[in-house]
Structure 1
Amino acid sequence: MNLSQLPLNSLRAFYVSAKHQSFTRAADELCVTQTAVSQQVKGLESRLGTTLFNRMPRGIALTVEGLRLFPVVEKVFSELTVSLENLCLGVSREPLNLGVVGTFALHWLLPKLDSFYCQHPEIELRISTNNNVADAFSEGLDYIVRFGRGHWHGSVAKLLFDTPFTVLCHPSIASQLRNPQDILKYTLLRSYDIQEWDQWLVKAGVKAKVHYSNSITFDSTALMVDAAAQGFGVALASPLMFASKLKEKKIMQPFDVFLHKGGYWLTRLDSKPETYSQLMFKSWLEVQIESQDFK
């Protein structure tokens, strides 16, 4: 197929419709009628010989083919927009779309970013946070920093560093903890992994089981540790990620018992070669990690 024969308006109609999951909302953004958007998409489907949307009584949803096409078209339009804006401003910067789990972004990456910007003013870094979302690459991201053990389908994963977990809590609580079993007297702050506290207790040599009726579940480790710093209970988290709170004595680490759940990984789609901006960011990350004191 001659790609030059694909009309730009049809591709844009597909992109905006996929972004909103609605022909009506796409029409509002493009300042045309809903019928015009629908016809543009139908024309594109006809040229490609495939269906990009499932039409349903109450909306539309991308087909498998549409899901494959969307991140490609999104990246093209995003880069085109940036290039045109930079052209008008007389500058040229290559974008890098980075997805990062929130704890890593707040407590490790952001404090170091000045160094990256100083070294690479030619790269425009765009950061979004996620919670290890399985299909995050469908959002057009170039790299995703994830937490886990390095196994994500369709991805190339490079280990940045391990982050073992241990108990973190307010100093007033830490002063009352004589042995690991004492944590069971307090509210346990946890993630959606219901086994992690039991696993830590086994590591600590405690045979007692956790009663999760006395617990609070968080979808953000950073929020969980903030709750621990306010005395709501004891958290299980990485002391490396919260070194500043430990230094400021907002929280304390009462035990040297660690649960190894995984580490932070830099991941990308294995179906796409790395760009200049990706290689520069990866190289910068490696230097930052080499200089990090992990003790």
Structure 2
Amino acid sequence: MPARPMKRLPPLPALHTFLITAQCCNFTRAAELLHITQGAVSRQISGLESHLGYSLFQRQARGLSLTAQGRELFPRIQQVFALIDEAVDQVGVKREALQLKAPTCMMRWLLPRLLQWQKERPDVPVELTTTVQHAVDFRREEFDAAVVYGARPDGSMQVHHIFDEQLTPVCSQSLLDGPTPLSELSDLEQHMLLHPTRDQRDWEQWLKAAGTTLSNISKGQHFDTLDLAMTVASQGSGVAIGDWALIGEDLSAGRLVMPFDLRVKTGQAYYFVYPNRAGSSPQLQELLEWLLVQAAQREGQ
């Protein structure tokens, strides 16, 4: 079946001239609005009528009036130009990236989710700044929002709870299946303890909740970040104490396993915060709601 020949559309400038002329029904006024001569308006309308094959205006001694075809065409041309205006405005809008700050200990949970967010919402870019600090000062730091760790922040900013810190020992499957047992709490005495901080408070807090003590707690290896401790643990070099909420990806992928079921809440938590001035940003609210859904899914596991 032969293809139908493409229909030649009316010229866009002539349609725009028709739109303006139809709004005022006066060649002189239309010429003023379009910044062209009255004769140019008349010629464009006549050319458009010739192209369409019907009249758009009735010429009268006191002005113009739309014909039946003109009245039918007018609202449709209005809609076309409104769509063009909307398209130009939307494309011309500069997408400002949301500036987000977060502590490095949060990266194992946050970074994969921000990458997923950018796939789903490329129109709302996020620029992430990592820091060893656990707090934020919006009076001095130019961030739209931040993830903070610790006690619940004060009321000087908008605060949304993400999840609580829950400590639990983790190690590699190869270490768990190795020649040195790790089925009883006392078996931890035979393994290198890995600390995600320069002190040993995380292990101490978990062991206290478990009702035991270890003689080798001060002989373990210390790291500056949770990420380093988890990486070394995944390589089978020892048993680390980690935050269950943050290492969910490692547990799901089998890079880490939990030798004991006990998870201890420390009273500390992670919060999504932003200054009051940023509360009206719909993009920020969308990101917040999306992250809270992600956090709720982890808590439900």
TM-score normalised to the size of structure 2? 0.59
1:64-106 CA-to-partner distances (Å, cap 9, x unmatched) read xxxxxxxxxxxxxxxxxxxxxxx9x94421331001223433x
1:142 and 2:123 aligned: no
Corresponding residue number in structure 1 for 2:275: 269
* Letter paired with 2:250: K
Corresponding residue number in structure 1 for 2:82: none
Instruction: Give distance in 2, aligned partners of 1:205 and 1:118.
Output: 46
* Letter paired with 2:207: L
* CA contact 2:103–2:134 (8 Å) conserved in 1: no
Instruction: Give distance in 2, aligned partners of 1:248 and 1:117.
Output: 22
258-267 or 113-122: bigger deviation: 113-122
Instruction: Give distance in 2, aligned partners of 1:99 and 1:255.
Output: 33
Corresponding residue number in structure 2 for 1:168: 170
1:250 and 2:276 aligned: no
Residue ranges of structure 1 left out of the alignment (5+ in a row): 1-86
* Letter paired with 2:163: F
Q: CA deviation at 1:180?
A: 1.4
* CA contact 1:168–1:235 (8 Å) conserved in 2: yes
Structure 1's 198 and 103: CA in aligned 2 closer, same or farther, altered over 3 A? Answer: closer
Structure 1's 236 and 226: CA in aligned 2 closer, same or farther, altered over 3 A? Answer: same
Instruction: Give distance in 2, aligned partners of 1:248 and 1:287.
Output: 21
Select the residue among 171, 184, 200 that pairs with 1:179: 184
1:192 and 2:198 aligned: yes
Q: CA deviation at 1:169?
A: 1.0
Instruction: Give distance in 2, aligned partners of 1:115 and 1:174.
Output: 32
1:43-65 CA-to-partner distances (Å, cap 9, x unmatched) read xxxxxxxxxxxxxxxxxxxxxxx
Select the residue among 284, 288, 293 that pairs with 2:294: 288
Instruction: Give distance in 2, aligned partners of 1:272 and 1:183.
Output: 48
Corresponding residue number in structure 2 for 1:226: 231
Instruction: Give distance in 1, aligned partners of 2:298 and 2:212.
Output: 33
* CA contact 1:154–1:271 (8 Å) conserved in 2: no
Corresponding residue number in structure 2 for 1:94: 96
Instruction: Give distance in 2, aligned partners of 1:238 and 1:221.
Output: 9
* CA contact 2:163–2:271 (8 Å) conserved in 1: yes
* CA contact 2:169–2:240 (8 Å) conserved in 1: yes
Structure 1's 272 and 210: CA in aligned 2 closer, same or farther, altered over 3 A? Answer: farther
* Letter paired with 1:288: Q
Q: CA deviation at 1:278?
A: 1.9
* CA contact 1:94–1:122 (8 Å) conserved in 2: no
Instruction: Give distance in 2, aligned partners of 1:181 and 1:285.
Output: 39
Secondary structure of the residue aligned to 2:125 is strand
Instruction: Give distance in 2, aligned partners of 1:198 and 1:163.
Output: 15
Instruction: Give distance in 1, aligned partners of 2:281 and 2:238.
Output: 45
Q: CA deviation at 1:153?
A: 7.7
What is the alpha-carbon root mean square deviation over aligned residues? 2.8
* CA contact 1:148–1:263 (8 Å) conserved in 2: yes
TM-score normalised to the size of structure 1? 0.60
Runs of 4+ in 1 over 6 A off after TM superposition: none
Corresponding residue number in structure 2 for 1:128: 129
Secondary structure of the residue aligned to 1:139 is coil
1:189-220 CA-to-partner distances (Å, cap 9, x unmatched) read 111343221221111121445541x1222221
* CA contact 1:100–1:144 (8 Å) conserved in 2: yes
1:157 and 2:159 aligned: yes
Q: Which has the larger radius of gyration?
A: 2
